[in-house]
Structures are given as C-alpha cells and as structure tokens.
Structure 1
C-alpha cells in the first residue's frame, strides 16, 4: 500500500498509487509520489513514466479525514505543499509522463493528470473538482489544460464531473479503452516513446515545458492561497465535516 515504482522493459518506469479504498492520498503520500516521479526522471535508464493506480478509482484527492483529525493548520499546510510538490514533479519530470486513469479522478487527481504529458483513460473514468463543495479551491490551473475555458468554469463552479469521452472529444485524452485494457493501452504508448533516442525525448520534454504559456506552479500556488483564507475563516472546516458526515451516512445506508 502507498506509492510504489518498478522498472519494466526498455526504460519504462511504472509508478502505482495504492491507498485503499478510494486513493485519498495522505500528505506524506503526495511527497512520496513527488520523490518517485522526480527520481524516475533523474535515473538515466528511464525513458518514460506510466502513472497508474489500484482500487476503485485513480485518485479521490487529498485525505480529508487526515485534515479533520488534526488541530491547527499543520495537516492542511502539509497537504497543500505535498500536492504542489507532486504536481510539479509530474510536470517537471525529465521524461514524458503517461497517466492511466480509471474510475474517478477528483481534486488532486486532476492536478496530476493535468500536468501529465499523455492521458489514457478507461471508459468508466470521470474527472472533476469537488473543491467548491469542500470549502477549498485549487487545480483550476490543471483542469484548464484539459477542457476549454468556459467548460472549465462551469465544472469548477458546479463541482460537476466530466467523462473520459468528453475529454477525448476535446483532445486532452488520447484514447478511451475498456477498463481491462487500460494498462496495456498506456504501455503501448510508453513502448513507442521508449524506442526513441532518449536524449532527444528528454530535450523535447524540456523544450515543450519551456514554451508552455501557463506557469502552472505559480498559478496553482496562487489558488491555494484562497484555500488557506477559507480555512482561516472556518468555512472549509464546516464544509469538510459536512462531506465526511454525509459519506458516513452513505456508507451506513449501503451496509
């Protein structure tokens, strides 16, 4: 359980997120994901990274229970910094990062996906930012890389989800496949990239980042400032607790 990585054939590194049941990642997990991704890029044997997940969905975002259990703002600051570090690690990784998304991809999951180079998704995948409903703000920077501006605003204000098929329509998801074929589909693209000259691919990644019009690190940290402001006023705490109370009620009804 946690963050693991493995080298496969031809310089392909697979990094797996595994925090049952929904991959709500604790603050330490975000830092570990950043370390694994950065380390993969720094390894001269690496040619491409595949970021994937186990469990019911790709990522449910940060672990809200960890924040609610803590007193003061240490857990919130750790989660904010951890997310920023992990998102930046995906964006700045010296080799291309392919994400394989299944099930739900929420909050911090969108941050990871929006900073990746290539997105493959299963036909049951959905993407969304529930931040407004949780008393937080963030990852609009990354959602804006996946959908057009006005759709991004609609999704952000309403906390609605959007399907993998919609993202494929807009060109941000390269391929939508049945769940059982997801890992294989990501590996096919990874193998294709791995056959290229690694020096050229690494230069290409640096060059593409260099011409990117959006300074993703700064804009995301700007968003996080409003999250902290909402926490200082107590708005976020009430919103998180309302969600957790509702989640407990839903689990009880399911049982």
Structure 2
C-alpha cells in the first residue's frame, strides 16, 4: 500500500499508486506521489514516467474521512490543498513526459493528475469527472478544461456528471482506449515509443511545450483553491460533505472524495 516506483524497462519509470479500497489519497499520500514523480523525472536514466494505479479505480480524490475529522485550524483541509497542488504540479513539471494509465474511476484529484499528464491511455471502463459540488469542495476545473471544451467542462462541473474514456478519445484528450486487461501493455507501448527518443531532447521538448501553454496551470489551480478554502471556512463545505456516501455512489465506503 502507498506509492512505489519501479523501472522494469530501460528509460521508463513506473510510479504506482495503491491506497485500497479506492485510491482515495490521504494528505501524506499526495505528497508521496509528488515526491515519487519528481524523483523519477530527475533520474538521468529515465526518459518517460508511467503513472498507474492498482485496484478497481485510478483515483477517487482525497480521503473524505480525513477531512471530516478536521480540527479548528483546518489542518486536514490545508494539507489536502497543498498535497494536491504539489502532486498535480509534479506531474506537469516532471522533467520528462508522463503517460497516465487510467482504469475504472478517475474522479476529483484524479482529474488533476491526468489533466496535467502528457498523454492518457485508458481502459474501456474508465470514467472521468469532478464530483466537487457534491462533495463540498471546488477545484480541478483547470485540469478538466485541458480534457474537454469549455462549455462541456462547465456542464460537467455544475452537474458532477462523468464522461467515458470513449468520449475523451473523441475529443482527442485520450490517446487510446483499450480493454482493461490490456491497459498496462498499451500504456507501456506508448511510454516505450517516447523513451526511445534522445533523453536530452525529450527534456528540452517537455520544457518547451510547458512554456507555450496558454494557461499557467499552477497559478490557475491555486486560484481555484482559494474558493475551496472559503467553502471550508464558511461551513458549507462540511455541510455538503457530510451528506456524501449515498447508496451506489463511489463514496459509500466513506473514504473517497474529490478535490
């Protein structure tokens, strides 16, 4: 359980997240993920990072139980905000390209991760969404806007609905959609093709592409986080969050949420 890094093939570092039962990350988990991705990118032998997850879903956001047990100083909320920001930034700022392999649900913080990745390979059962308004939070619209057009992003955000991997493939934000059993192989195939390029040139290319982005993703997400914190201070965040976990929702366990 936790975050691990393996290098099974030359030039490729696989960073795997495993927080049962649904990969809802505690504050420490977000910082561990950020550290692992940054360390992999700094390794001169690595030319591509493959971001993957164990279990039935890729990521379900933050650990809601941790937020529900927050103290008067809002340490859990502040920690989750900082941890998510660091993990998202680590993916975006990784010195080499990052390929995300997504299965099952990719919600809340998961959107922050894949929205900042360089490429996404998804299984046929993958769904993507921001259930923030149903979870007493805000944020990651910055990253959803990198996956779908503006009006669709707004409709998804306001309704908390999800979209399928096939939908995102049609919009051009998912590279390939494959059967779940072939996800790792398909993601590794893309990572292998990237890693075959000159390592120094790849690092220059990553820096160049980040430099021409029209939106500063770190600054944009930080702006969003101010409203998340405002919702927390006003009490509306906790009030809505305490209704989380109805029958059939991904939050029935009470452990996963969104940021």
TM-score grouping bracket, smaller chain normalisation = over 0.9
Three-state SS of the structure 2 residue aligned to 1:147 is coil
Aligned position for 2:256: none
Q: TM-score, normalised by structure 1?
A: 0.96
CA contact (8 A) 1:90 1:97 kept: yes
Structure 2 unaligned regions, length at least 5: 254-259
Aligned position for 1:156: 157
Q: Deviations over 1:189-232 (max 9, x none)?
A: 11111111101111000000000001000010100100111111
Distance of 1:134 and 1:9 partners within structure 2: 40
Q: Deviations over 1:16-63 (max 9, x none)?
A: 010001000000000000000000011111110000001110000000
Q: Name the CA shift for 1:249/1:228 in 2 (closer, same or farther; >3 Å).
A: closer
CA contact (8 A) 2:245 2:252 kept: no
Q: Deviations over 1:39-90 (max 9, x none)?
A: 0011111110000001110000000111112212000000000000000000
Matching of residues 1-255 of structure 1 within 5 Å: 1-72=1-72, 73-244=74-245
Shift of residue 135, structure 1, vs aligned partner: 1.5
Q: TM-score, normalised by structure 2?
A: 0.94
Higher helix share: 1
CA contact (8 A) 2:244 2:251 kept: no
Q: Deviations over 1:116-158 (max 9, x none)?
A: 0000000000000000111111000000000000000000000
Q: Which runs of 4+ in 1 moved over 3 A?
A: 244-251
Q: Name the CA shift for 1:21/1:250 in 2 (closer, same or farther; >3 Å).
A: closer
Instruction: Give the total of aligned pairs.
Output: 251
CA contact (8 A) 2:96 2:206 kept: yes
CA contact (8 A) 2:139 2:228 kept: yes
